[in-house]
Amino acid sequence: KGDICDHDPVLQTLRAHNVDAIMHLAAESHVDRSIDGPDAFVETNIVGTFRLLKAALAYWQELREPLKTNFRFHHISTDEVFGDLPLDSGIFTEETPYRPSSPYSASKAASDHLVRAWHQTYGLPVLISNSSNNYGPFHFPEKLIPLTIINGLEELPIPIYGNGLNVRDWLYVEDHARALACVLRHGRIGESYNIDGSAERTNLNVVEAICAMLDEKRPRQNGTRHAELITYVKDRPGHDRRYAIDTSKIEHELDWRPLESFESGLEKTVQWYLDNMWWWRPIRQGRYVGERLGYVAWRILVTGREGQLARSLAAEAAKRSAMKLVIMGRPSLDLTRPETVHRVIAHARPDIVISAAAYTAVDQAEDEPALAREINAAGAKAVAEAAYQCGAPVIHLSTDYVFAGDTLTAYTEEETPSPKNVYGQTKLEGEGLVALANPQHVILRTAWVFSPSGRNFVKTMLHLARERDAVAVVADQWGNPTSALELARAILHIATRLGTPNPPYGLYHLAGAGDVNWSGFARAIIAESRALGGPEANVIDIASYDYPTRAARPANSRLSCDKFNAAFNWQMPHWQESVGEVVARLLGDG
């Protein structure tokens, strides 16, 4: 292993292996990444090429004939150095002046110039080739074709920049490998050669072709087309409209032509990703989760800065470079002051608003109904109105406590709410006002939220287990414990879907899979704690009348999430899996 930026180890390697030629393929190559982090592109593509050229020159000057005459330095570059073309005309030749548009293409253009300079100044026998977009096996999942295949297989949103009409020429990687070997063996020293696959396609054409292949090879579980996963996201800065290159030079001089059509190469590529999950799945699980990189696609404003959900959203969004969260709370964003809410949100200019702030003191709300209503109803309305005035959809959080709990089955969105307490009533009023204030709304009723932060049932049980040998917990109230971490992941998934042409706006239930009563929930928490060497205590079942509270609670607040699962193709994990994650974090922090 080595680094092209390290001159001495590179030179030692050349000497140790008696190298006949250098084929310089090493590069930082993802345009999106270069926008957010150009430093690595300058270091690898420019400085790295410079140091590799220095080492190659020193090595070449040491060689004896005929090795010196036969030596070649082949530099592999990109068509992006030429800039872009109109959508309907023009083509790049080897003589086209360079006009790079991004930090990536600028760094590659600079490296091309260095290679030519080392030939002109020092006589180093160099060759340059500029190729169009490659695709095929072992393509890192951040690039368009593998990203589309893998997101399609995992039934995740498939992001497309802008309107998807940017045009690229596609070259199957094995055709490119044959071309490189041809240039290295037979190319004229000091010359450059354009290489492409004669397969111009819009990005949307490419994605739709992959979706059609996946429909045939791996149909979706719900029977719908993979193309319904397509999500249009904000375009990146400096996004070139079209690349097209003239390959007549390599065809006439070196008798090279691609063997694969775009259709045959794409079919091989899709099949390879289907057959080789062992390669790409660890990458997805360990380093990269399938977002478009390098540009903040969505600026998301979140209310309720100190709440469990806002903190969980911050943690999850930090893993996604395509989302930038602006998390606000009192005093700068006070829901009891609607005029301030409007001014602050207008200034922030969000693409999406997540309305998570609420008055959540269920018992105290019985004594402060006006304040609860001011925040949960009027305040929620102000947030939704302000979002609408910015052209932003709103994702509004509500509660299972809108239901009376007098049924034995899980509540669906179609059933009539009938709150038993002030908190539930004010949240229900908020739902109605949000829906009226902003037609672009997703209202989410959730339940029994817990996380490593804030006040919640899991933290309370662990605290009591440290202080007592036994804890008494009600056993006649049933619901769906919901991890704020999983809730955050689902909400960020929703945010990506709001970029589709027909977003699934509406009212949904979203909670952890599976149901349990409070005492069963407590036992699961204690069991996880015990397994990790944490505090433990006996859990004693009691009835609600043994633990009177200021506000009445529903005996059954189970939520059916079938509508959400179908609309967003997302399944929340079982609450017991989530409990283990949260308990482990709490004990680790403690």
Contact 437, 384 (CB under 8 A): yes
User: Which listed residue (28, 32, 59, 79) is catalytic?
Assistant: 79
Catalytic residue among 32, 80, 169, 429: 80
Residue 71 half-sphere exposure toward CB, CA atoms < 13 A: 22
- Contact status, residue 441 vs residue 385, Cβ threshold 8 Å: no
The total number of residues written for the chain in this structure: 590
Q: Which residues pair with 225 in a beta bridge?
A: none
d(CA 68, CA 585): 62
Is 104 annotated as catalytic? yes
Residue 199 CA to residue 258 CA, distance in Å, equals 10
Structure-block tokens of residue 224: 């719908």
**Residue type at 95 in one-letter notation:** E
CA distances from 378 to 1, 336, 369 (A): 62, 8, 13
Given a contact cutoff of 8 angstroms between Cβ atoms, the answer to whether 431 and 396 are in contact is yes
| DSSP per-residue codes, 312-373 | HHHHHHTT-TTEEEEEE-TTTS-TT-HHHHHHHHHHH--SEEEE------TTGGGT-HHHHH
Of the candidates 104, 172, 411, 505, the residue annotated as catalytic is 104
Integer Cα distance of 70 and 21 in angstroms? 8
Give the C-alpha separation, 393 to 506, whole Å. Answer: 11
Phi, psi at 256, each rounded to 5°: -105, 140
Phi-psi region of 167 (alpha: psi -120 to 50; beta: other; left: phi over 0): beta
Asked if the peptide bond before residue 66 counts as cis, ω within 30 degrees of 0, the response is: yes
Count helices and strands (H / E) in the chain: 22, 21
Query: What's the rounded Cα separation, in Å, for the pair 519 and 284?
Result: 37
Q: Is residue 159 within 8 Å of 321, Cβ to Cβ?
A: no
The residues carrying an active-site annotation are: 79-80, 104
